[in-house]
Chains A and B, each alone.
Chain A
Amino acid sequence: MTRDEIVAAIRAAHAGRTPLRLRGAGSKDFYGGLLAGEVLDLSGHRGIVAYEPTELYLTAKCGTPLAEIEATLAEHGQMLAFEPPHFSANLTVDRDISAKTGATLGGCLAAGLAGPRRMQAGAVRDFVLGVTLVDGRGQVLDFGGRVMKNVAGYDVSRLIAGSLGTLGAIAEATLKVLPKPVAETTLAFACAADEAVRRLNDWGAQPLPLSAAFWHDGRLLLRLSGAAAAVDAARRRLGGELTVDAEKTWISVREQTHPAFAATPLWRVALPSTAPALAVDGLAAIEWGGALRWYAGDIDAATIRAAATAAGGHATLYRAPESLRCRVDPFTPLAPALLALHRRLKKVFDPAGILNPGRLYAEF
Chain B
Amino acid sequence: MCRMSSESPVVADRATLLRRLRQVLPTHCLLVEDEDLRPYECDGLTAYREMPLAVCLPENEGQVVDVLRTCHQLGVPVVARGAGTGLSGGAMPHAAGVVLSLARFNRILAVDRDSRTAVVQPGVRNLAVSEAAAPYGLYYAPDPSSQIACTIGGNVAENSGGVHCLKYGLTVHNVLRIRMVSIEGEIFEIGSAAPDAPGYDLLALCIGSEGLLGVVTEVTVKLVPKPELAQVVMASFDDVAKAGDAVAAIIAAGIIPAGLEMMDKPATAAVEPFVKAGYDLDAAAILLCESDGTPEEVAEEIARVRAVLTASGARDLRVSQSEAERLRFWAGRKAAFPAVGRITPDYYCMDGTIPRKRLAEMLAAIAAMERKYGLRCANVFHAGDGNLHPLIMYDMSLPGDWEKAEAFGAEILELSVALGGSITGEHGVGIEKIKQMCVQYATPELETFHAVKAAFDDKRLLNPEKAVPSLHRCAEYGRMHVHRGELKFPDLERF
Chain A residues proximal to chain B, CB less than 8 Å: 52-56, 77-78, 112-113, 118-119, 122-123, 125-126, 135, 139-143, 145-156, 158-159, 161-163, 167, 178-180, 182, 201-202, 204-209, 226-230, 232-234, 270-275, 288, 291-292, 312-314, 316, 331-332, 334-335, 337-338, 341-342, 344-345, 347-349, 360-361
Nearest neighbor of B299 in chain A, beta-carbon distance: A229
The segment from B56-64, B371-379, B439-447 that touches chain A is B439-447
Question: 20 additional contacts, CB 8 Å, given A147-B422, A156-B452?
Answer: A54-B249, A113-B196, A123-B195, A142-B445, A151-B428, A152-B433, A153-B449, A155-B172, A155-B204, A158-B204, A158-B205, A159-B200, A205-B137, A205-B138, A206-B225, A209-B294, A274-B115, A292-B195, A338-B189, A348-B448
Rounded to whole angstroms, the CA-CA distance of A228 and B387 in the bound complex is 31
Given A149-B387, A162-B200, A337-B186, the answer on whether A205 and B293 have CB atoms closer than 8 Å is no
- A55–B251 Cα distance when bound, in Å, is 8
- Taking CB atoms, residues of chain B closer than 8 Å to A314 are 192, 194, 197-198
Q: Is the CB of A147 within 8 A of B251?
A: no
Q: Is B161 an interface residue (CB 8 A)?
A: yes
Q: Once bound together, how far apart are the Cα atoms of A348 and B201, in whole Å?
A: 15
Chain B residues closer than 8 Å to A162, beta-carbon distance: 196, 200-201
Q: CB distance B173 to A153 under 8 Å?
A: no
CB-nearest residue of chain B relative to A118? B195
Q: Check A270–B196 contact: CB distance below 8 A.
A: yes
Set of chain A residues within 8 Å of B213, measured between Cβ atoms? 154
**Residues 426-443 of chain B, each 1 if its beta carbon lies under 8 Å from chain A, else 0:** 111100010001001110
A291 to B192, CA, bound (A): 12
Q: Please measure, in the bound complex, the distance between the C-alpha atom of A209 and the C-alpha atom of B445, giving whole angstroms.
A: 41
Per the bound structure, the CA–CA distance linking A125 and B382 in Å amounts to 22
Asked if A147 contacts B355 (CB within 8 A), the reply is yes
Q: How near does chain A come to B352, taking the closest CB pair, in angstroms?
A: 9
* B355 lies within 8 A of A335 (CB): no
Decide: A153 and B195 in contact? CB cutoff 8 A.
no
Bound complex: CA A288 to CA B195 (Å): 9
Cα(A24)–Cα(B423), bound, Å: 33
Assess whether A145 is in contact with B421, with CB atoms less than 8 Å apart: yes
Are B429 and A344 in contact (CB-based, < 8 A)?
Answer: no
Encoded as 1 (CB less than 8 Å from any A CB) or 0, chain B from 456 to 495 comes to 1000000000011000000000000001100000000000
In Å, the complex CA distance between A229 and B385 comes to: 26
The minimal Cβ–Cβ distance linking A259 to chain B, given in whole angstroms, is: 24
B interface residues, how many (CB within 8 angstroms): 95
Is B132 an interface residue when CB atoms closer than 8 A count as contact? no
11 A-B residue pairs with CB within 8 Å: A52-B355, A112-B196, A122-B169, A147-B353, A149-B353, A153-B445, A182-B254, A206-B225, A207-B228, A229-B296, A314-B194
Bound complex: CA A153 to CA B450 (Å): 10
Interfacial chain A residues near B221, Cβ < 8 Å: none
A352 to B354 CA separation, bound complex (whole angstroms)? 38
Q: Give complex CA distance A297, B262 in Å.
A: 56
Q: Which residues of A contact B202 (CB under 8 A)?
A: 159, 338, 341
**CB atoms of A152 and B172 under 8 A apart:** no
B149 at interface, CB cutoff 8 A: no
- Give bound CA distance, A215 to B166, whole Å: 31
Separation in Å of the B229 CB from the closest CB of chain A?
Answer: 9
Residue of B nearest to A198 (CB): B114
- Establish whether residues B199 and A126, one from each chain, have CB atoms under 8 Å apart when the complex forms: no
Give the CA-CA distance A205 to B137 in the complex, in Å. Answer: 8
CB of B437 within 8 A of CB of A312, answer no
- Whole-angstrom distance between the Cβ of B139 and the nearest chain A Cβ: 11
A141, A208, A234 — most chain B CB neighbours (10 Å): A141
A152 touches B440 (CB 8 A): yes
Chain A CB within 8 A of B356 CB: yes
User: Which B residues lie within 8 Å of A135 (CB)?
Assistant: 448
Chain A's nearest CB lies how many Å from the CB of B350? 13
Kindly state whether residue B281 has any CB partner on chain A within 8 Å: no
Assess whether B114 is in contact with A205, with CB atoms less than 8 Å apart: yes
Q: Which 3 A-B pairs have the closest CB atoms?
A: A229-B296, A158-B204, A313-B194
Contact B200 A163 (CB under 8 A): yes
- Given A151-B208, A205-B225, verify A331-B199 contact (CB < 8 Å): yes
Q: Which residues of A contact B115 (CB under 8 A)?
A: 201, 272-274
Could you tell me the distance in whole angstroms from the C-beta of A305 to the nearest C-beta in chain B? 11
Which of B136, B161, B173, B441 contacts A205, CB < 8 Å? B136
How far apart sit A204 and B224, CA to CA, in the bound complex (Å)?
9
- Residue of B at shortest CB range from A347? B455
Given contacts A205-B138, A227-B301, A232-B296, contact A341 B423 (CB under 8 A): no
What's the minimum C-beta distance from B163 to chain A, rounded to whole angstroms? 12
A335 and B254 CA atoms in complex are apart in Å by 44
Question: B386 contacts the other chain (Cβ, under 8 Å)?
Answer: yes
Q: Which residue of A lies closest to B292 (CB)?
A: A207
Q: Is the CB of B357 within 8 A of A55?
A: yes
> Which A residues lie within 8 Å of B444 (CB)?
139-141
Tell whether B400 is near chain A: CB-to-CB under 8 Å: no
Q: Does B116 contact A (CB under 8 A)?
A: yes
How far apart sit A226 and B468, CA to CA, in the bound complex (Å)? Answer: 41
Let me know if A226 and B293 touch, CB within 8 A. yes
Chain B, 274-307, CB within 8 A of any chain A CB: 293-294, 296-297, 299-301
A197 CB to nearest chain B CB (Å): 10
Residue of A nearest to B296 (CB): A229
Which A residues are in CB contact (< 8 Å) with B427?
151
The distance from the CB of B356 to the nearest CB of chain A, in whole angstroms, is 6
A154 touches B225 (CB 8 A): no
Alpha-carbon distance A228/B428, docked complex (angstroms): 39
Closest B residue, CB atoms, query A345: B455
Contact between B300 and A228, CB atoms less than 8 A apart: yes
- A154–B208 contact, CB under 8 A? yes
CA distance A152 to B430 in the complex (A): 9
**A204, B116: Cβ atoms closer than 8 Å:** yes
CB distance from B85 to the nearest CB of A (A): 16
A163 to B199, CA, bound (A): 7
Bound complex: CA of A349 vs CA of B301, how far in Å?
46
B227 at the interface (CB under 8 A from A): yes
Q: Judge whether B425 is part of the interface by a CB distance below 8 angstroms.
A: yes
Q: Verify A153–B437 contact, CB threshold 8 A.
A: yes
Assess whether A54 is in contact with B251, with CB atoms less than 8 Å apart: yes
Contacting pair A152 B294 (CB below 8 A): no
Q: Which residues of B contact A151 (CB under 8 A)?
A: 158-159, 208, 422, 424-429
Q: Which of A140, A205, A337 contacts B116 (CB 8 A)?
A: A205
Complex CA–CA separation, A297 to B111 (angstroms): 36
CB contacts (< 8 Å) of B114 on chain A: these are 201-202, 204-205, 273-274
Residues of A within 8 A of B192 (CB): 272, 312-314
| A12 CA / B311 CA spacing, docked (Å) | 57
Measured CB to CB, the closest approach of chain B to A269, in angstroms, equals 9
Interface centre among B205, B207, B294 (most CB of A within 10 A): B294
Question: Chain A residues near B353 (CB, 8 Å)?
Answer: 147-150
Please report which residues of chain B, range 217-259, place their CB below 8 angstroms from some CB of chain A when the two chains form the complex. 225-228, 248-249, 251-252, 254-256
Residue B349, interface by CB 8 Å:
no
Interface pair B137/A206, CB less than 8 Å apart: yes
Taking the nearest CB of chain A, how far is it from the CB of B354, in angstroms?
Answer: 7
List chain B residues, Cβ under 8 A from A273. 114-116
